[in-house]
Amino acid sequence: MSVTAPRGFEAAGVAAGLKATGKPDVAVVVNRGPLKTGAAVFTSNRAKANPILWSQQAIADGVVEAVVLNSGGANCFTGPFGFQTTHQTAERAAELLGVSAGDVLVCSTGLIGTGDEVFRAKVLAGTAEAIATLSADGGDDAAHAIMTTDTVAKTSTLAGDGWTIGGMAKGAGMLAPGLATMLVVLTTDAVLDAAQADAHLRAATRVSFDRLDSDGCMSTNDQVTLMASGASGVEPDPTAFRAALAEVCTSLAIQLQCDAEGASHDISIEVIHAASEDDAVEVGRSVARNNLFKAAVFGNDPNWGRVLAAIGTTGADFDPYAVDVSMNGVRVCSDGGPDRPRDEVDLTPRATHVLIDLKVGDASATVYTNDLTHDYVHENSAYAS
């Protein structure tokens, strides 16, 4: 049931005609309370879509009654008309739910730079239809309605000590951090105030969505929202709740990685013995964004020299001539030189693990990425056609 697994939530997903396929394209998730706590993190791209501009204002008071999401159109770079469309979407949902428009967040995903009266009419009609069909069993329908190039819906749930967390996500491309590069809705029936929700969400995204760097491209529409209904009546242990939320977010992030556009390898880049966590992330990300390395993995070539060349561009504290690199369990580089023969490395499985030992400290981090394939280039060259 994803976002409706926790008590106090209803959801729906409907087909409003935004997608040429006729598949569901408008989703609504509503918090029935008794608490209406909310927190959200957004893309740090300076080019922000109209729903981001609206939601950043709406979340300021830490109250969220509902989230309206549409696929089939990003409503980005559509001028004043586009912002009015987002505003009217929140107003329509608020009117039908009997709440304030300022407590309704809006999310959109799809092609940038398109939007007209027909688009607006379909979004508004879809919002009304979704609200009319809200149910405690509607989480899966909502998860399918936010898909674009996704091939599967992404959902996750986790039961805690008297409370539950649920989540849904969409994303199959433009997965790079800053702060969260996809659309995600998280729900919980735990008792949280706005400050707690914000702190837990930022801590969880930092070690999950922020570590997903599929293609190094940052979107304009990315938003992760957490809503807490308090319907369980349980105030969770902060440490346990934060760990559980991070687990749900990591599950969703891995699902996004595994559905990345055109990918044939899911690559986990684990950096150990770094001087700091920031150094570990910087090193891992430098490899994740290196097209030569990603192309080599696509060709099943354990070219560890490209790993060293990539990390040498960072400002992290390490000696490149002391680094070890292992690929799928085979140490191919030791102390900056050749170790085991390359032909011992099997890169034919989809799951690919790269271990980089910097040998300077105790910090570690893992960054998740994918290979660079012909299918990725084709899919993104024909995206708007």
Please check the confidence at residue 33 and state whether its pLDDT lies above 70: yes
Could you tell me the residue ranges of all domains in the chain? 2-258, 266-381
Catalytic residue among 181, 188, 225, 352: 181
Residues 6+ apart with CB under 8 A from 353: 267, 268, 270, 326, 327, 328, 329
Identify the residue with better confidence: 380 or 333. Answer: 333
Residues 6+ apart with CB under 8 A from 44: 178, 179, 218
Kindly report which listed range (29-43, 215-229, 283-297) carries the lowest average pLDDT score: 215-229
Distance CA 310, CA 93 (A): 48
Q: Residue 162: what residue type? A: G
Residues 6+ apart with CB under 8 A from 299: none
pTM of the model: 0.93
Domain 2-258 and domain 266-381 have a common topology: no
Distance CA 54, CA 374 (A): 37
Kindly report the average pLDDT of the chain as a whole number: 94
Q: Of 121, 106, 126, which is closest to residue 48 (Cα–Cα)? A: 106
Into which CATH architecture does domain 266-381 fall? Roll (3.10)
> For position 136, what pLDDT does the model report?
97
> For position 181, what pLDDT does the model report?
46
Please check the confidence at residue 180 and state whether its pLDDT lies above 50: no
Please check the confidence at residue 5 and state whether its pLDDT lies above 90: yes
Q: Each residue of 288-325: pLDDT tens digit? A: 999 999 999 999 999 999 999 999 999 999 999 999 99
Tell me the three-class secondary structure of the chain, residue by residue: CHHHCCCCEEEEEECCCCCCCCCCCEEEEEECCCCCEEEEEECCCCCCCHHHHHHHHHHHHCECCEEEEECCECCCCCHHHHHHHHHHHHHHHHHHHCCCHHHEEEEEECCCCCCCHHHHHHHHHHHHHHHHCCECCCHHHHHHHCCCCCCCCEEEEEECCCCEEEEEEECCCCCCCCCCCCEEEEEECCCCCHHHHHHHHHHHHHCCHHHECCCCCCCCCCEEEEEECCCCCCCCCHHHHHHHHHHHHHHHHHHHHHCCCCCCCEEEEEEEEECCHHHHHHHHHHHHCCHHHHHHHHCCCCCHHHHHHHHCCCCCCCCCCCCEEEECCEEEEECCEECCCHHHCCCCCCEEEEEEECCCCCEEEEEEEECCCHHHHHHHHCCCC
Distance CA 140, CA 138 (A): 6
> For position 179, what pLDDT does the model report?
39
Strand partners, 224: 41, 184
CATH superfamily of 2-258: L-amino peptidase D-ALA esterase/amidase (3.60.70.12)
> For position 176, what pLDDT does the model report?
53
Distance CA 252, CA 192 (A): 22
> For position 382, what pLDDT does the model report?
65
> For position 385, what pLDDT does the model report?
53
Q: Is 114 a catalytic residue?
A: no
> For position 309, what pLDDT does the model report?
97
Strand partners, 330: 327
Please check the confidence at residue 170 and state whether its pLDDT lies above 50: yes
Strand partners, 354: 269, 327
Q: Each residue of 240-275: pLDDT tens digit? A: 999 999 999 999 999 999 988 788 999 999 999 999
Measured N-to-C along each axis, helices 291-298 and 304-311 cross at an angle, to the nearest 10 degrees, of 160
